[in-house]
Structure 1
Amino acid sequence: MHIRTSVEADLDQLLTLLSDKSVNTAHPERFTEFLANGQYRHEHTWVAEEGDRLVAAAVWWSFPGASGPIALDGLYALPDRTDSVALWTQLIQQVTSTASADSEPPSYHIFLPPGWRDDAPIRAALEPRLAAAKAAGMTNELERLRFEWLSDTPVPDRSTRLTFRAEPDDQAFLDVFQRVAAGSLDGNTHDTIARAGLAGYAQEELETYHEMPGERSWWKLAYDNAGDLVGFAIPSRNNGGPVVGFLGVVPEHRGHGYAADLLAEITADLADLGAERIAADTDLGNVPMANTFRRLGYGQFAVRLVLS
């Protein structure tokens, strides 16, 4: 068995492997499109080759121009393989074993329907992939709820108690990222701070939102009627369209329902830009944020499992 990165000559066999989508994100059409725009690359696609056949693959995603893989988008194997877990483990380790300890570790994102635990075929496809990821060292598992606002839902009224201002100075956002991290219910926030420190966490968040396709000019700080900073709101976009990028309330102003004001501003801004759908995620354990999404007309449509 030979483990290597893919090359252009592998494309036909790769697309055949990817045609069995299962619980994977990548599929032939997406792979072809993202290969052309740099979000998928052959050097980030690891394959297991037996003789002249590709028998398994791991497809990793990254921002165009990023130095290395960021997220695992799928694990694939020929249906007659009985060693898929072992093969997938080896393929994942090609990336995880070389990741820099100073940067955000690669993660595995799996998108599932809300009732996935009661769906036997989904669990049958999921369990060997989870086993491979954990055997490769991805033992931290986070479940996130995925919400969407659709244009046939009323646009929330903008806040009358907060004033929103665009702020071009990145330092202001670095400061507020650090402030809202205190007491956060977000699992990734805690993990990143544990790895990179508070300042490192803020810098990584800032860089992530700069890399996303949303405009920097959309980012806003929010102030109350006394002029105190309450929080911030980042509408953005990803490959799927408009998203709630980030919203946060500073600790001293929590408990007043300001998250709804921030979400209303993001939603209204994106709707004004023509959004027909706005997607958002929050951790399963962040019950207050999940309830805020529901109150403002967002419905849950999926679950994102993240292993790292």
Structure 2
Amino acid sequence: MVRIQIKHGDEDQFLYEASGSEKIENIIKNICAIYNGRLKIYRICAEMEDIAEHGLILPPEMIGLTDEQVKELKLTDPWADKHIPSGGYDINPDKIGRRNGRRPKEHMQKIIKNTINEAKQLISKKLIRSDKVLNLKIIEEAKSILKGCMTIVYPMGLPPHEPVRAEFTNTEDLEGTYASKEIIDISKAQLWFAGKQVLEEKQLSDYCGKNEKSKIIMKINQKGDGPPGREPFMSEETKKMLMAESFRRQEQLKKLELDEDDSYLNSKWADNKSLQKHVHGLDDIKFRFGK
């Protein structure tokens, strides 16, 4: 199986594994689905972090209003008493007026935070360093443990307008948000290899050869974005290593220029009679003077 290191722009994303005989069209669809799936997991985690701090989302007509405005308009949250976190809640008002301020108790907060960390580790970019591949099954696993966590914390379920619920059911509306700009439309997704666009009708082996143990780098974007920047001749780590070595060498040369120490004259290699002494067995003679 060929290992493909997927990048978006200059940032590493994940490792994908495919057979050299697989069609590029299928590879693009799978890679795009994984890429968008990672974004979904991170969106869910961000919303769950907010839930742990400030409770569930307010009804759309109450979001952003001050307490005075809510009283003046005589608005109420009909879902607040129907969806109480397991074990009760503490009051921690949301300064931006987005959530109801009824956050879960400390024990449930820990469950949420630990689950978030577990899900993030499953899809982390650091997996590339460990040479671990990512696939749709792992994405679904991360989504499943997050959903299970919410079921534990909110056994009565989540309100219909809660963003986390919409993410779990794939009914999220991201129009007009920054998140919508990050998503890549599968119908418009394209891959690039060695500065050239990868053609859908070809096979992976047309680009990396027949060696199933090869590892290549591909970049993903969508039609209209233009070709991504080519990979640098050397990695950033290699650049830093070479710069450090160059600096060390320069410092050594400066030290040699300033060093006027002639103590080296006492060294054996500087004695022009060392060979003669060695032949006559006189090179290790030491003299001891009495008092």
Give the TM-score normalised by structure 2. 0.21
Q: Which has the higher strand share?
A: 1
Of structures 1 and 2, the one with the larger relative CO (CA 8 A, separation 6+) is: 2
Q: Which has the higher helix share?
A: 2
